Structure 1
Amino acid sequence: MISRDTPILELNNVFHSGQVESGTWLQRIMGSVKTGLILKDISLEIHRGEVLAILGSKGSGKRALLDVISRRTEGGDMSEATTRGQIHLGGSVLTRKLFQERCAYVTRRCDLLPGLNVRQTLEYAASLTIGSKEASGQGRSSRVRQVMADLALTQSANRSVNDITRCERRRLEIGVQLVKDPVLLLLDEPTRDLDPLGAYLVSSMVSADARRNGRAVALTAETPRSDVFPFLHRVALLCLGDLLYAGPVSSATISGSPNADSQMRRHHLLTYFADIGFPCPRMENPLMYYLCLSTVDRRSRERFLESNHQIAALVDKFKAEGAPYRKAFGFDTDETLAGGPMGMGVPPPPLPPPFSQPGTVRVAKALVSRQISSILNFRLSGLGQLCLRVLSLPLFFLLLWLFYSGREAYQRTYVSTNGLIFNFLAGCYFISIFSTVCTFPVYRTRYFQECQEGLYGGWLFHLAYSVGSLPFTIVATLASSRIAVEVSGLTSYESWLYLWGIFFACHVVAEQQTLAFMRVQHCSLSAASNSLLTSSIYLILGSGTLRSLKALPEWLFYLTYATQPRYAGSLLAGQLFSVNPHAIPNCTAVPPLLPPGPTYSNIGVSQREPIHQALVISCGYDGLSYLTERYGDSVAASPPSFDLGISMAFAAGVTVFVGILFLLPLPAVVKSKFRE
């Protein structure tokens, strides 16, 4: 049990070094950018129910301080950074695992899935953070309702996240982290880009939640407004990594403590700076006034030197005399017991035990359900995804039906049927690539943000995404294969099954191949281009539609056995040429050989022989002969079930390979790009 006198968060002599200038992605990967001290000897603490505002101009180290507290500077994300000092949470050393279990961090950029409404967003956030032990009673549902009530989101519960105001979205982003009831909440610029009323609402609700639930809150701000001053209990002023002040913004003491110092009420922001010769003028915003005091003036060389010297003196002054202010309480217990400004008649309750973590199966189920719900929501964003996943491929096959359905008998040649097979394969590959690059990025961004919170790993995300996409792929390929059966003139249900299996396998291979490129490439256009190029090479070399496999060099011929289009093209050609041999008349090539004018009966004997030979050759050339010429004897004689089985095996193998790829770590600079 954490006592009231024990700070929730305590930092002692924390130093942090890392990248101090921007560079190219290659320089950051190679570690050749300039590094230096970002935070210098930071000591501060936050008690239960307090809100700490970390103030500073751009580049002062506010976000770096939050990253150090959240332990994101450890390990993979910022491996080039080093941190020294002591950080404790409730008396225990704050590790990355402990922070992920008991604390929460709302970053400046927090992407939400566009197809979900407010209630669904919070419910799925609870499913990913609260285990089955709290699933009933006072578990996830009650927690979601309470968070919506605390953040005034109940009236917007059924509205899409795309239709809510900016202030409501910011409160929803905070609510996503509050559903797990953290002991410590970090907020990076929570009032950024909000209007005055929105900033006031967010600040007041965060402060009320902290006092009501005994939660410690630390937030950053560059331009704090005067109307949020009453909702802050502590403030930390930073300038270029140095601490100018850390302590209460108003007077406070501990009621009933026999050792309470009578001068503790004087230990706050205004009295400190007044005592050292910098009183805040009347009718001035104290936060902005002292923030300007702690900002380097760069308008001229003289002002730069003067302000830099003044800030250095203020830093040294606080190191020498700031300990009593740093340890003072940010609110008065007497005021709280008497019914203080937030209407709290009792002190904050004891800290609740942490929620149990959900199991892997439950997390996977939540991810799949969230993905399907974001698509099947009958809103504009969901309908767009649904059309791309389900309707784009059948629409392409309908276009093929318009071109090929009206063919006459003389147009049903080997060349036209071979082109139809190529269009079948190319459509499955290219439409799958197009739909994947259009729908996957939003899930990828959310994955990298939630992965940083420790909710799940890459392989689980890939598995859930693949399973969630499976129903839409089945529906799209079933409809497309039915259209393909009508276009090709096939009649049996067995042929429909074979075509559906091939289309499904090709669609999955192209989708997983595109996911592999998008795993390492942030630009969707670049990933699509690379996937299209790879698929084009497969189709040219392995399908047998653009070039005969027997005409390839021997080494390239055997290499085609490692491509999925070889088996897909073999099955489709076998169905369209061998299963229905009467679709192509055997003697359509003879009439063009006749000379103009005379018929076969009245031409000379010397002219009849070559025409007769051509007639014999043409009538003896059937679909099996064509397959043998394009693929060779072994492939032409292979059963359709074999080609279908190999194609399905390719789809499963590529899926497993991409899942392994999601297990491999990425450089920190690449992951930060994906989170943006």
Structure 2
Amino acid sequence: MISSDYVLELCNVFYSGQVEKGSCLQRMIGNIKTGVILKDVSMSVHSGEVLAVLGSKGSGKKALLDVISRRAQGPIRGQILLNSHPLSLCLFQQRCAYVTHKCDFISGLTVQQTLYYTPTKLSGYLKKSKVKQVMADLALSQVANKCIEDLTRSEYRRLMIGVQLIKDPVVLLLDEPTWDLDPLNTYLIVSILSNAAKKYGTAIVLTMEKPRSDVFPFLERVLYLCLGDVVYTGGTRQMLEYFNAIGFPCPQLENPLMYYLCLSTVDRRSRERFVESNHQIAALVEKFKIEGGMFRKGSSIIGTNHNMEHGLHGNKVPLFIGKPGSFPTGWTIYTRLLAATLSFKKAGLSQTFLRLFFLPLYFFFLWLFYREMKDWQHTFISRSGLVLNCLSATYFIGIINAIMIYPRYRTRYYQETQEGLYGGTLFLLSYNLVSLPFSFISTFASTAIIFTLIGSFTNPMDYIYFSLILWASYIFTEQQTMAILMIIKDYLKAAIFSIYIPAVCVTLSSGILRSIKGLQDWLYYLTYATQTRYAAAFLNRKVFTNPTLNQILPFDLQHNCTHMNFETSLLNGISSPYCRYANGLSFLTERYGRDTTDNIFNGILEEDTNIGVTFAFTLGMIVFNLFLYLIPLPSFIKAKFRE
């Protein structure tokens, strides 16, 4: 090892883990099939080298990367060292990087923005320079301003690599970076990785299932795995000498990488072939344990690392360099969310519409429907329906917006938190700082559209309070949906479950669809635990204490309800066929009065209590979410958002 070299070493590593996918219930109770996945794996890779892990499906390639990155779930024996220092999860997150097979970027951002808004210790001019350099190295400069939704598969894969290279890792792991790519792009990506390894002094470990012959010159080392056993590991060119020495020379005009991969793969075409290939591979594994020591250390690049560029990681750079601070990371996440929302791309315009214009548009249709409302007796029912539509629409659109917008950020959060970049609380705070101003503007604009139908209020505070109640209701269901989306990946299931909750609450607690006094005692007291009770009571009081409704309204132009004939009908015990409500107070009493002795304005319709409790529910849901994202979830729940 030369003085400026980093070395990743695995010494006699064994790993046992899940070998078959289990159901959700099986994972919850721990009833899943496990077995030995990696068996006595030893390997090493130096700075500036590219090591390819080759093997058929199920050979343990991905498990090896998960073990190195400390993401594997299960017992691990053996040593994983970086410059003779145990490679802990903290050390890996600070000095290494892992390009997974699947990565979801945030829609609406360009290539340059995606790289720039990756949380790192760099900032300002240094970060911009690093972004330009990485784009040039990965042949992405020509698509710097291209939206990620418009990238080709090859460009997207290179962007995935760039997001990790921007962190300047000393070890870079890649899971199938050339999967499903055409030969030209496969060659391009492997050659780019080889150049990056030498330029930055990065040790690169990548997995491949079907290696092509044209990538052979770019691979300094190779590791063949079969069902967790090492068939060969060491220098790529020394591989030819080793297999030739043990009696398996590569035929001329054959791809040596693929030839020896087939040699290391169990043949399942028949029972006889299966048994024969199993015995052959077992013999190869034992043969390498005995005679492969000198080949394991061989590589064509050792001793030539002196000419690497200034990007080389020298021993002068400490292993532990710390993580980016919480405030710079939070600011990066916040500006990234804001840039994605305000983007003029299709995804950004869609978000802007949902956040700013969806609710006002719905309220505009409400205004069109209710604008012909006259001050007759039936206006009591119409205004009650208007309140119901305002409250229900706010709940519903809050849920729909969360379902349509939040998942893309949630998935990216789950992927980045596995890299140790930030935690759930910081992510939620940043998301809420973007979401809350938009919802505030949207609900206040919506109230301005519909407020003229409610009545002529001279006090501007009535408009403000009405808007604040709708805003609190919007935030509450949005946060509720975000909590549900934490564990439910399917958007439709999460939406149905989230909509069901406020639907039940509106039906039982609002006093609009069903009178509060008609509820059984246990249901009545249960309504105290719902935000809908307080929000609906506040809105109804504002609407039905309007001076316009403080008098007996006529039924229509032909039937006038005078004060006298209304009271006479009540005294005689006869329900007036036209005049059901004397005023707004009588309507509220019918809906909210439990008995004749109730003073509803000092009880269920008490104004300060209702607005205070409505916001208390909303604030409580926000705080609950912050704590919820601190709770360590089972790995199988998080895995479904990452893979």
Q: TM class, shorter-chain normalised?
A: over 0.9
C-alpha distance after superposition, 1:211-239 (max 9, x if no partner):
11111000000001111111110000000
Residue equivalent to 2:42: 43
Q: Find the aligned partners of 1:619 and 1:450 in 2 and give their Cα distance.
A: 61
C-alpha distance after superposition, 1:99-150 (max 9, x if no partner):
001000000001100111111111111xx121xxx4356x322221221121
Q: Find the aligned partners of 1:513 and 1:360 in 2 and give their Cα distance.
A: 26
Q: Find the aligned partners of 2:582 and 2:310 in 1 and give their Cα distance.
A: 94
CA contact 2:569–2:575 (8 Å) conserved in 1: no
| TM-score between both structures, scaled by the size of structure 2 | 0.93
Q: Find the aligned partners of 2:4 and 2:443 in 1 and give their Cα distance.
A: 64
Shift of 1:489: 3.0
CA contact 1:333–1:347 (8 Å) conserved in 2: no
Residue equivalent to 1:170: 157
Aligned residue among 103, 120, 130 for 1:129: 120
Residue equivalent to 1:265: none
* Matching of residue 108 in structure 1 with residue 101 in structure 2: yes
Q: Find the aligned partners of 2:56 and 2:551 in 1 and give their Cα distance.
A: 77
Aligned pairs, how many? 628
* Matching of residue 240 in structure 1 with residue 231 in structure 2: no
C-alpha distance after superposition, 1:157-178 (max 9, x if no partner):
1111112221111111101011
C-alpha distance after superposition, 1:245-281 (max 9, x if no partner):
000112xxxxxxxxxxxxxxxxx11000001111111
Aligned residue among 244, 261, 266 for 1:291: 261
Aligned residue among 636, 647, 653 for 2:601: 636
CA contact 2:6–2:313 (8 Å) conserved in 1: no
Residue equivalent to 1:557: 524
Residue equivalent to 1:155: 142
Q: Find the aligned partners of 2:200 and 2:134 in 1 and give their Cα distance.
A: 12
Shift of 1:3: 4.3
Deviates more, 1:234-243 or 1:510-519: 510-519
* Matching of residue 455 in structure 1 with residue 421 in structure 2: yes
CA contact 1:428–1:507 (8 Å) conserved in 2: yes
Residue equivalent to 1:18: 17
Shift of 1:541: 1.7
* Matching of residue 529 in structure 1 with residue 496 in structure 2: yes
| TM-score between both structures, scaled by the size of structure 1 | 0.88
Residue equivalent to 1:97: 90
* Matching of residue 517 in structure 1 with residue 516 in structure 2: no
Amino acid at match of 1:501: L
Shift of 1:155: 1.8
Residue equivalent to 2:285: 315
- For residues 207 and 363 of structure 1, do their structure 2 counterparts lie closer, same or farther at Cα, with a shift above 3 Å needed? same
Shift of 1:616: 13
- For residues 28 and 612 of structure 1, do their structure 2 counterparts lie closer, same or farther at Cα, with a shift above 3 Å needed? closer
Deviates more, 1:175-184 or 1:615-624: 615-624
SS in 2 for 1:44: strand
Residue equivalent to 2:408: 442
RMSD: 2.6
Q: Find the aligned partners of 2:534 and 2:138 in 1 and give their Cα distance.
A: 57
Q: Find the aligned partners of 2:599 and 2:528 in 1 and give their Cα distance.
A: 12
Q: Find the aligned partners of 2:511 and 2:253 in 1 and give their Cα distance.
A: 82
Amino acid at match of 1:316: E
CA contact 1:490–1:576 (8 Å) conserved in 2: no
Q: Find the aligned partners of 2:580 and 2:6 in 1 and give their Cα distance.
A: 93
Aligned residue among 546, 560, 573 for 1:579: 546
Q: Find the aligned partners of 1:150 and 1:582 in 2 and give their Cα distance.
A: 72
Shift of 1:592: 6.5
C-alpha distance after superposition, 1:530-578 (max 9, x if no partner):
1111101111121111111122222322222221111111121111110
Residue equivalent to 1:325: 295
CA contact 1:590–1:614 (8 Å) conserved in 2: no
Q: Find the aligned partners of 1:472 and 1:482 in 2 and give their Cα distance.
A: 16
Deviates more, 1:541-550 or 1:215-224: 541-550
Shift of 1:588: 2.0
SS in 1 for 2:528: helix
Residue equivalent to 1:273: 243
Q: Find the aligned partners of 1:317 and 1:274 in 2 and give their Cα distance.
A: 13
Amino acid at match of 1:365: W
CA contact 1:7–1:47 (8 Å) conserved in 2: yes
Shift of 1:401: 0.9
Residue equivalent to 2:314: 350
Unaligned runs of 5+ in 2: 562-567
CA contact 2:55–2:225 (8 Å) conserved in 1: yes
- For residues 324 and 560 of structure 1, do their structure 2 counterparts lie closer, same or farther at Cα, with a shift above 3 Å needed? same
C-alpha distance after superposition, 1:456-475 (max 9, x if no partner):
11222222222221121112
Q: Find the aligned partners of 1:469 and 1:181 in 2 and give their Cα distance.
A: 32
SS in 2 for 1:410: coil
Q: Find the aligned partners of 1:406 and 1:570 in 2 and give their Cα distance.
A: 25
Q: Percent identity?
A: 49
Q: Find the aligned partners of 1:105 and 1:575 in 2 and give their Cα distance.
A: 57
Shift of 1:477: 0.5
Aligned residue among 184, 190, 202 for 1:197: 184
Aligned residue among 437, 442, 448 for 1:482: 448
CA contact 1:59–1:240 (8 Å) conserved in 2: yes
Q: Find the aligned partners of 2:37 and 2:498 in 1 and give their Cα distance.
A: 41
CA contact 2:6–2:170 (8 Å) conserved in 1: no
Superposed, 1:521-670 pairs within 5 Å as 521-582=488-549, 585-588=552-555, 618=579, 621-632=582-593, 633-637=598-602, 638-670=605-637
- For residues 314 and 545 of structure 1, do their structure 2 counterparts lie closer, same or farther at Cα, with a shift above 3 Å needed? same
Shift of 1:583: 8.1
Superposed, 1:401-480 pairs within 5 Å as 401-410=367-376, 412-480=378-446
- For residues 226 and 414 of structure 1, do their structure 2 counterparts lie closer, same or farther at Cα, with a shift above 3 Å needed? same
CA contact 1:4–1:48 (8 Å) conserved in 2: no
Shift of 1:642: 3.5
Q: Find the aligned partners of 1:393 and 1:609 in 2 and give their Cα distance.
A: 43
Shift of 1:522: 1.4
Residue equivalent to 2:357: 391
Deviates more, 1:379-388 or 1:576-585: 576-585
Shift of 1:65: 0.2
Q: Find the aligned partners of 2:571 and 2:76 in 1 and give their Cα distance.
A: 89
Shift of 1:629: 2.6
Residue equivalent to 1:258: none
Residue equivalent to 2:274: 304
